Amino acid sequence: MQPNYNSSYTATNAPVPEGTIIVERGVSAQEFAPKLNRTAADVIRFLLQNGEMVTATMTLTDEQMELFALEVNADLLLVEPGQQEELELQALFDDSDDDDESLQVLRAPVITVMGHVDHGKTTLLDKIRNANVVSGEAGGITQHIGAYMVDVDGRKITVLDTPRHAAVTKMRARGAQVTDIVVLMVAADDGVMPQTIEAINHARAAEVPIVVALNKIDKENADVQRVLSQLSEHELVPESWGGDTIVVEMSAQQNLGIDDLLEQLAAVAEVEELTANPTGRAKGVVLEANLDIGRGPVATILVDKGELKVGDPIVAGAAWGRVRAMINDKGEQVKSAGPSTPVQVLGLQSVPNAGDEFRSSETEKTARTVAEAREQRYRLKAQRGDARLSTGVKLEDIFNSIQAGEVATLNIVLKADVQGSLEAVTESLRRLERDEVKLAFVHRAVGGITENDISLAATTNATLIGFNVRPDRKAREMADSEGVEIRTYEIIYKLLEDIERAMVGMLAPEYEEVVTGEAEVREVFRVPRIGGIAGCMVLSGQITRGSKVRFLRDGTIIWKGAITSLKRFKDDAREVREGFECGIGLSDFQDLKPGDLIETYEEREIARV
């Protein structure tokens, strides 16, 4: 038998011939050998006899794997990482009827509502579904992805409501990947905001039509023309201006323009001609999943095609099981779910990841086999990924690596206050790359520096950079114990200067900031002719009158200055230690809210070695 070494094979080609062994590139001998029913020692011994020195954990080249396959007369197919899963699915799940036009029927369009915080997304859904969603959410902010099915003049529409916290940008991106049409909510009194731009980018990445819902037109300070101009700057030119972007003026609170919006969505869906095969085994995506104490693993799924029925064996990522019950968005138990239908599924053995593809299978054994194979593969990939990233160097070590003639890789965990800053810092750092210095962004996100960031930086030997954000007390303590370097900046040029100087071995002496105390605002008192006084509890260290201070809200720096007054009860105090309450007055800052953090610090000059 002549081995098959078709490296250009893709999952859209003809089915893999029976008996062909699929192997992903970049595997080690201990991963490769069992696929050919051999041991890692067999592979190493054979390669040594052919002048190739390898170990069990070293990555094998294509030629080495092909040579061994020829020796054992195996039919081998080498594929890119991730493609093996697609080929296995192709072999296990019969999709031959999916492209049969005679079986295609119209399906409900999937609408994703996106936009900046407090621009009225959930209020719009509240009106559409005639259910009070807002009252059940903490602070009026959407906590999880919700999927709802509504009836518009006899036609079904599925609506996804994505969370709008800046720290979960990836979850919003997942919403765009499973949608047919994006509704972009923009407030007429607020205009295009950073998260609005972020939502536009996600919708464009998903290559789906965008319908703009211009909300809050009833507000006194609403300026529709200004918002239309801002949208045009981002290539969303309204139809009234000669463009092709549908803009619907509305007020969700006053129930104005909602019917017009639904009609426009129905018209766009009709143009798109969205169809699916409603028969056969189901396929779709996991929108969200969690572990419920009373019900076990619960997954919110959206069926893409086929029909999912109670009792069907399913596999979702590395999770598998049999559908024990399905619950629709109204809380009712249903027996089946067709294309574009969102349901909660009970019966999985473990919790899948949001964004995982799910499929129903013919037998429970098939679902279990695929899930277990995936779990093992994910674990091996994670181990390989950690090994690859751990070869990074610290910022101070870059110059030494360059001098030694090595190519240095600086692993970076980057956190910023807003998406715009994150992208600006990322692009600026990428421009600093040279042949001998490579930058690898292990993680980039919006929000304060957390313990998860510290853990990731420690695992990957990365430098953690914060732009206009700070670590909390627990994160600082964990960074000290893990030996993670945290560098925080408020000026992008200072950040770039440090990286450049590190590359040429010219890091100058700098000031090290030492946090001396941290206090949480519990109450705010308004004093005539003085202003706001923050009633605080000192959480760590000590607060000293006259100290330099940062004012933090959700991990983001919103003000810097000094403490002008410090009191214990009615008496002035020079310092207040951990565990005691105090009143703090800040210079030129009155926007005080319970839950804010006041961080005091001092600067000490240190010499850079």
Average pLDDT over residues 537-557: 88
Percent of the chain scoring above 70 in pLDDT? 78
CATH of domain 283-386: 2.40.30.10
What is residue 591's predicted lDDT score, i.e. its pLDDT? 82
Average pLDDT over residues 300-315: 91
Write b or e for each residue in 325-346: b if 16 or more Cβ atoms lie within 10 A of its Cβ, otherwise e. Answer: ebbbbeeeebebbbbbbbbbbb
What is residue 393's predicted lDDT score, i.e. its pLDDT? 54
Separation of alpha carbons 25 and 7, rounded Å? 10
308 band by pLDDT with thresholds 50, 70 and 90: very high
Give all strands (DSSP E) within 46-144, no chain letters. 76-79, 105-106, 110-115
Give the distance between the most distant pair of CA atoms in the chain: 93
Q: Which fold has domain 395-508?
A: Rossmann fold (3.40.50)
DSSP 309-377: ETT-EEEETTEEEEEEEEE-TTS-EESEE-TT-EEEEEEESSPPPTT-EEEE-SSHHHHHHHHHHHHHH
Residue 525 scores a pLDDT above 50: yes
Two structure tokens written together for 473: 């007390």
Residue 6 scores a pLDDT above 50: no
Please write the tens of the pLDDT for every residue from 321-370: 999 999 888 788 999 999 989 999 999 998 887 778 888 888 888 888 88
Query: Could you say which of 3.90.1710.10, 3.40.50.300, 2.30.330.10, 3.40.50.620 is the CATH number of the domain covering 109-273?
Result: 3.40.50.300
Separation of alpha carbons 342 and 344, rounded Å? 7
Q: Which residues contact 160 (CB under 8 A, 6 or more apart)?
A: 110, 111, 112, 113, 145, 146, 147, 175, 178, 179, 287, 302, 342
Residue 511 scores a pLDDT above 80: no
What is residue 325's predicted lDDT score, i.e. its pLDDT? 92
Contact between 371 and 359 under an 8 Å Cβ cutoff? The reply is: no
Grouping H, G, I as helix, E, B as strand and the rest as coil, residue 502 is: helix
CATH architecture entry for 513-606: Beta Barrel (2.40)
Lowest-confidence region among 95-99, 218-222, 393-397: 95-99
Contact between 176 and 112 under an 8 Å Cβ cutoff? The reply is: yes
4 band by pLDDT with thresholds 50, 70 and 90: very low
What is residue 347's predicted lDDT score, i.e. its pLDDT? 92
Separation of alpha carbons 340 and 158, rounded Å? 7
Lowest-confidence region among 35-39, 58-62, 337-341, 397-401: 397-401
Domain locations along the chain: 21-92, 109-273, 283-386, 395-508, 513-606
Position with higher pLDDT, 506 vs 458 = 458
| Identical fold between 395-508 and 513-606 | no
Two structure tokens written together for 297: 């693993």
How many other C-beta atoms are found inside a 10 Å radius of the C-beta of residue 308?
Answer: 26
Residue 314 scores a pLDDT above 50: yes
Residue in the block written with tokens 């070293």: 58
Please write the tens of the pLDDT for every residue from 90-114: 555 555 555 566 668 888 888 888 8
